[in-house]
Structure 1
Amino acid sequence: MSVEPHKLDPREDTRFDRPDRRGRPGRLPPENSARITRRITALAVGIGVILMVGKTLLWQNTHSVGVLASLVHSGLDMFGAISSFIAVRYAARKPDGKYRFGRGKAESFSAVFQVCLIVFAASHLLEEVVEQIGTNHPLTHSGLAIAAMVFFVIITVWLLIAQSWAIRATGSIAVRGDRAHYLADMFANLFVIIGLAISAFTPLIWADAAVGLFMALWLLYTAYRVARLAWAQLMDMELSEEERSLIIRLAMADPRVRAVTELRTRASGPHIHIQMRLDLDETLSLSEAHDIVLKAEKRLMGDFQAADILIHPHPAGCGHAHGNRRFFSDTLPEKP
């Protein structure tokens, strides 16, 4: 079985517009990425503690289902942040003889743990809402509750801004999971404020329980989003089409490279792994082929500084495809 190569006219201008680098794994040197993720996860844990303690005190004074929903969400945020705090530090360790591909998937396992926490909390909140819907008891200290929730929104927005910057810089899936938690928490706070105001200043006392129901559904949606991110890395999903196109173009920037075939990519925490075959003129010496491969690696490392790269030189025109045929993809080749 032969595999059609990626082809590029050698006469084409090798300059190209590169895709947006923000939010992509493997772009920063591992040390820089680790420093950013360590700091942002520590900040997330601190904010989680503040939100959880503050909302616990607030719920004890108001007995609001909406505040309770937000409290449970903040509790999940804190435990999820602790999980990410540990995971990013473990994932940043250097590969060694025992883990030659590194430990990057620790971030994905942290995300799976967060999904489990979210689903558990959503189930608990649904039970609480069912119990509270028929009570219709008036809320107390509504003004204090609304003021406190506004404060919680402000500090959550500040954290989201910091997390967004960290994701743009590192592409960390653990930080993405954290940000999904806190983004949901921010909207939770906003809806709780609306529910408190409606319940306190209108006859619609049931609005507070309705907010709790909405938050339970929002938690389940958040779990789905985080699960998709974790699934992609745990199952070694290919990088995006933009990233693969960039890899091919970088490899073929040298006109002596006839084609790129058998390209495989995957992300693992802060790292990415790239392997490919370069089709070269069969008359080249081994030394010349080695020089072409080294220069291709250097170009790729310029854009993917945390990449593990494996390139196999191959004589152009040879129809033999290396490896187990089970792993040949019907979708290949993609165009550069």
Structure 2
Amino acid sequence: MSANSDISNADLTATTDDRFDQPNRRGRPGRLRPDDSAVITRRITALAVGLGLFMAVGKFVLWGETGSVGVLASLVHSMLDMFGAIASFVAVRFASREPNPEYRFGFGKAESFSAVFQVCLIVVGAFHLLQEVIGHVGHTHAVSQSGPAIMVLMFFIALTLWLIIAQSWAIRATGSIAVRGDRAHYIADLLANIFVIIGIALATYTSLKWADAVVGGLMAIWLLFTAVQIARLAWGQLMDRELNADERRSIERLAMADNHVRAVTELRTRAAGPHLHIQMRLDLDETLSLAEAHEIILGTERRIMAAFPAADILIHPHPAGCGHAHGNSRFHTSKA
């Protein structure tokens, strides 16, 4: 059987298998064409900016009417949401730009820098809230206009929940780290509003007048926890962390779908915003001609690109059985 016929059969098998792998394709980097990913991330970040501004203004008015520390905590959180959403709004547009001669790997890591900026905002906001809480301890006061405040906050909860659902869909489609950071903000904001309602109710309708300040303190702690979660996501991309084991096995399976491929070695992967960079070595039969080896490499690229349309792929053919390792030994991944 010729190399070309083997490639065609392998491509067909990989495509058929991939149809049954649809649930695993969601929320992973490189699984969507960059242009399609850009359309989704641009729309969802624009929506997040608009809702963030609306809720920040609404909570500022509400804080002026109630004087609640819990509402102030939620207001600070919404301001952070808005600035973080603006950072994501800019980052996803910059990350979708095409590579140029100076930046051959593209601009995808702009999303990670956006996440770092969000972490800084969250930490600053958390310590500001802790300062406010400490200032109010021992100086408790009843919350005014508590009934209308609770109604307004419930409306904001509904808006935030709707946005989180939309962001979750966008993440499932694109795997965007910038949108993940935004969603973490708004999930925290959703919980913040719930805690604030509880704090206002306890401070107004029970003898627990200190509950409002306690809610503010809990929100400050929650903000710091959120910062750690987003920082871990950003760190992984900025430091070129490998894709998870399932994704790497998927890439290896696609590469091995051709019978002429004896082994896949030195596989390296890294995500950068909407893009994915993959490089590997394929061990091939040493009797194959250069043209046949080239066709096998092209078939492998097509199979991987079908599953990872945003992938940039570099494959090095290598004669099977040759023990020579190429490149700097410091970066060999045989121990991985």
1:67 match: 71
Distance 1:131 1:107 in 2: 37
Distance 1:139 1:72 in 2: 18
| Separation in 2, partners of 1:291, 1:36 | 35
What is the one-letter code of the residue matched to 2:79?
G
**2:207 is the alignment partner of 1:209:** no
Q: Which amino acid aligns with 2:159?
A: I
Code of the aligned partner of 1:298: R
Q: How does 1:1-336 map to 2 (within 5 A)?
A: 18=21, 20-329=24-333, 331-332=335-336
Greater helix share, 1 or 2? 2
Q: CA deviation at 1:321?
A: 1.0
Q: CA offsets, 1:261-288, max 9 Å, x none?
A: 0000000000000000000000000000
SS for the counterpart of 1:253 is: coil
CA deviation map 1:121-176 (0-9, x unaligned):
00000000000011111110000110010000000000000000000000000000
Query: 4+ residue runs of structure 1 moved beyond 6 angstroms?
Result: none
- Residues of 1 paired with 2:333 and 2:33: CA distance? 31
- Alpha-carbon distance, 1:303 to partner: 0.4
**Partner letter of residue 238 of structure 1?**
E
Q: Measure, in 2, the Cα distance between the counterparts of 1:147 and 1:70.
A: 15
Whether contact under 8 Å (2:280, 2:316) holds in the other structure is yes
Match of 1:6 in 2: none
Q: What residue in structure 2 maps to residue 4 of structure 1?
A: none
Partner amino acid, structure 1, of 2:55? L
Q: Using structure 2 for the length normalisation, give the TM-score.
A: 0.94
- The question of whether the paired residues in 1 share the 8 Å contact of 2:266 and 2:334 is answered with no
Percent identity among equivalent residues?
Answer: 68
1:194 CA drift (Å) = 0.5
Structure 2's unaligned 5+ residue stretches are 1-9
What per-residue deviation string (whole Å, max 9, x for no partner) do you get for residues 216-238 of structure 1? Answer: 00000000000000000000000
Q: Secondary structure at the match of 2:24?
A: coil
Shift of 1:330: 5.5
C-alpha separation between the residues in 1 aligned to 2:307 and 2:72? 46
The AA in structure 2 aligned to 1:293 is: I
Distance 1:50 1:206 in 2: 29
**2:269 is aligned with what amino acid?**
T
- Displacement after TM superposition at 1:105 (Å): 0.2
**What is the DSSP-based 3-state SS (H/G/I as helix, E as strand, rest coil) of the residue aligned with 1:93?**
coil
Query: In structure 2, what is the Cα distance between the partners aligned to 1:162 and 1:313?
Result: 43
Q: For residue 36 of structure 1, what is the amino acid of its counterpart?
A: I
| CA deviations over 1:186-245 (Å, ceiling 9, x no partner) | 000000000011111001010000000000000000000000000000000000101000
Give the SS at the match of 2:108: coil
Cα distance in structure 2, aligned partners of 1:330 and 1:281: 21
CA distance in 2, matches of 1:76, 1:108: 17
- Kindly tell me the number of residue pairs found equivalent between the two proteins: 321
Letter in 2 for 1:328: H
1:264 aligns to what SS in structure 2?
strand
TM-score normalised by structure 1 residue count: 0.94
Structure 2 CA distance for aligned equivalents of residues 53 and 106 of structure 1: 28
Supply the AA of the counterpart residue of 1:89.
R
Distance 1:202 1:331 in 2: 62
Query: 2:3 aligns to what?
Result: none
Q: Match for 2:308: what amino acid?
A: F
Q: State how far apart, in whole Å, the 2-side matches of 1:330 and 1:198 are.
A: 60
Aligned CA RMSD, in angstroms, stands at 1.3
> In structure 1, what residue type is equivalent to 2:133?
V
